[in-house]
Structure 1
Amino acid sequence: MAVNPSYVNPLHCDYVSEACPYQASIYGYYNNLACNAFFAALFGICFIFNIGLGCHYRTWTYTLAMGLACAAACIGYIGRCIMHNNPFQSLGFEMQICCLTFSPALNSAALYLILKHLVLQFGRDWSRIRPKYYTWAFISADISALILQAAGGAIAATAGDNENFRDVGDHLMITGISWQVLTLLLFATATIDYTVRRFRSSSPLSPSAQALLRSTKFRMFIAAATISFFAIFVRCVYRIAEMAGGWRNPIMQNQSLFIGAETCMIGLATILQTFIHPGIFFPALASYRQSKKMARAKSGSDSSVEEPTGNAELKV
């Protein structure tokens, strides 16, 4: 006699059997091994390229964010591969629920570094706040979202039979992802606000800014960053809907939707953020530290120059 999966507690199952059909697992399906293996390999490759490009162009903060994002995503999809033959496999579940929940916050962190450098190149006078505060504000908010998601994923993965404890983890993940969505919206608002204020101004762009704006590489970089933003945003909205319905809800148990809204979106963002690398396509970000040191040395005072806007880094 067939068992009704809705009456089976997946936490009481260690493997698929007549008493524990795969439909009773948290996700209600067998993970697609080929898809998960492909993306585990993809994120692993992106990790290697990010480290290599980061060391070559010395984009240390960007590399840290993207390197951790790729590593976490790779581990997460390895976890899903582990669950392929056994949807009740606890180690694989814990790996993927923790790593895949928070890794996109690191992709977002890499995006947040860009606005400061755009302001420095096109003119800080049209920014409502000092350029360095963009990075501090958005990265701090992103770290908060990351901590909430990581903590929620860890609690949910280790809650065992404690349903209340598991719900706490669920709510923390939803809060963290919602906070990430809000941060993304604020980032988009700040970017649009600066862009409108700058290009509505009657003041002409500096020669270096004009050269940057005409650069095909720079335009490709901005297009890649924009697409990455929307891909991450779509993924976060999907995750809120997935988690809001509780465990084993229809959205959570739709593998095709997960692949499309989570896997492909973050895969696309990661590919663009890796290979449309600022060291190649936006050298002003890559050479910022060196330019700042040169500007300070020229001024003769470490405290008199906060952020350089020199032209040497704009040879794109």
Structure 2
Amino acid sequence: MNLGSVFASTTTSTTTATSVGPYHYVPTEWICILFVVLYSISTVLHLGQALKYKLWWMIPTATFAGILEILGWSARLWSSRNPKLLTPYEMQIVGTIIAPTPLVAANFIILGRIIAQVGPQYSRLTPRKYTIIFCCFDIACLVVQAVGGASAAHSANTKSSASMGANIMLGGIAAQLFAIVVYVTMAVEILLHFKHNAPFRYVEQSRIFEKGSRTVSKKLRLMLCGMAFCTLCVFIRSVYRTVELADGWDGPVISTERYFDWLDGGLVTLAMYTLNFLHPGILLKEDDSTAHGSQQGTDEESSRT
């Protein structure tokens, strides 16, 4: 798509979709305001919860995701009043494309904490290695999407460059989809091995659940449900953005506002609030004896590997 041609159109016979600006529609003002408010509330809550429970990693993950969404939807609000301006369009491309990526990183870290609680022997990787590998991959996806978004936004007057930027973003989102699939597969594998008491290896002093009393607490079950729902929301959103970008800058998917509102804004909002209400600071809190036992097992397993 040549974004510059959107503004150069001189068609006067009818009012076409492209005449209103690069979105092919005028973003609805009240919807933009609604999402700015919703994301602002969730972001403030995430920051407060991170400080309260001293989960500092929730700041560069869930909190940062909220800040990016606020940026993206504030730019769309700007566009609702000035639909032909290119600057807010560029801002919302970058903001909304990369915002869910830090949220995915939060889920990766949460699963690592869950592994540490149920026992690292049920995972192919130690909690530390698991977190490092998946978070590094997630950061790579974030960088690729950011580069692609910036390239597409700032190359509006060059069709080939804008298309290249879209392809880079598409590659980043596709890689993120792959990471989510692997993440879900490993999570299911860990839970199945735990359920059937089939550890990959024996880890002395790390067996929190003794034989005959191997149960998952209600809090841990709630955290698993929250993590699953959050991941599902982000996954569906990523599928939508993949289809959207593959369809092209002028395609019917990217040109339909309600698809973006529901499948991007709505789903990421649900994912954000899920981690607010089912927060790891509450649901993954261990008592002193359990935390000590878990840490011993994790440390010993790490030393062996």
Shorter chain as normaliser: what TM range?
Answer: 0.7 to 0.9
Determine if contact 1:152/1:172 at 8 Å carries over to the other structure: yes
In structure 2, distance between residues paired with 1:238 and 1:145 = 17
Match of 1:310 in 2: none
Deviating more after overlay: 264-273 vs 87-96: 87-96
Match of 2:82 in 1: 86
In structure 2, distance between residues paired with 1:224 and 1:158 = 38
In structure 1, distance between residues paired with 2:160 and 2:44 = 40
Match of 1:255 in 2: 257
Give, as a single letter, the amino acid of the residue that structure 1 aligns with 2:197: S
Once the two structures are TM-superposed, the CA of residue 243 in structure 1 deviates from its matched residue by: 0.3
Match of 1:237 in 2: 239
Matched, 1:213 2:216: yes
Determine if contact 1:10/1:20 at 8 Å carries over to the other structure: no
Deviations 1:259-310, CA, capped at 9 Å, x for gaps: 11111110100111123211112214x99xxx57x968xxxxxx86859xxx
Once the two structures are TM-superposed, the CA of residue 123 in structure 1 deviates from its matched residue by: 1.4
Once the two structures are TM-superposed, the CA of residue 11 in structure 1 deviates from its matched residue by: 4.2
In structure 1, distance between residues paired with 2:241 and 2:139 = 18
Deviating more after overlay: 237-246 vs 201-210: 201-210
Match of 1:60 in 2: 56
Q: 1:71 aligns with which of 64, 67, 70?
A: 67
In structure 1, distance between residues paired with 2:5 and 2:170 = 23
Unpaired segments ≥5 residues, structure 1: 1-5, 297-302, 308-316
Unpaired segments ≥5 residues, structure 2: 200-206
**TM alignment of 1:1-316, pairs within 5 A:** 9-12=5-8, 21=15, 23-24=17-18, 25-201=21-197, 206=209, 213-215=216-218, 217-284=219-286
User: How many pairs are equivalent?
Assistant: 291
Give, as a single letter, the amino acid of the residue that structure 1 aligns with 2:240: Y
Rate the CA distance shift 1:247–1:64 in 2: closer, same or farther, 3 A: same
Give, as a single letter, the amino acid of the residue that structure 2 aligns with 1:84: S
User: Taking structure 2 as the reference length, what is the TM-score of the superposition?
Assistant: 0.86
Rate the CA distance shift 1:230–1:209 in 2: closer, same or farther, 3 A: farther
Deviating more after overlay: 187-196 vs 275-284: 275-284
Match of 1:3 in 2: none
> Which structure has more RCO (C-alpha within 8 Å, separation ≥ 6)?
2
Determine if contact 1:295/1:305 at 8 Å carries over to the other structure: no
Deviations 1:7-30, CA, capped at 9 Å, x for gaps: x921437xx995995610332111
Rate the CA distance shift 1:17–1:92 in 2: closer, same or farther, 3 A: farther
User: Taking structure 1 as the reference length, what is the TM-score of the superposition?
Assistant: 0.83
Q: Matched residues, percent identical?
A: 23
Deviations 1:197-255, CA, capped at 9 Å, x for gaps: 1211268961699697232x332222111111100000000000000011121000111
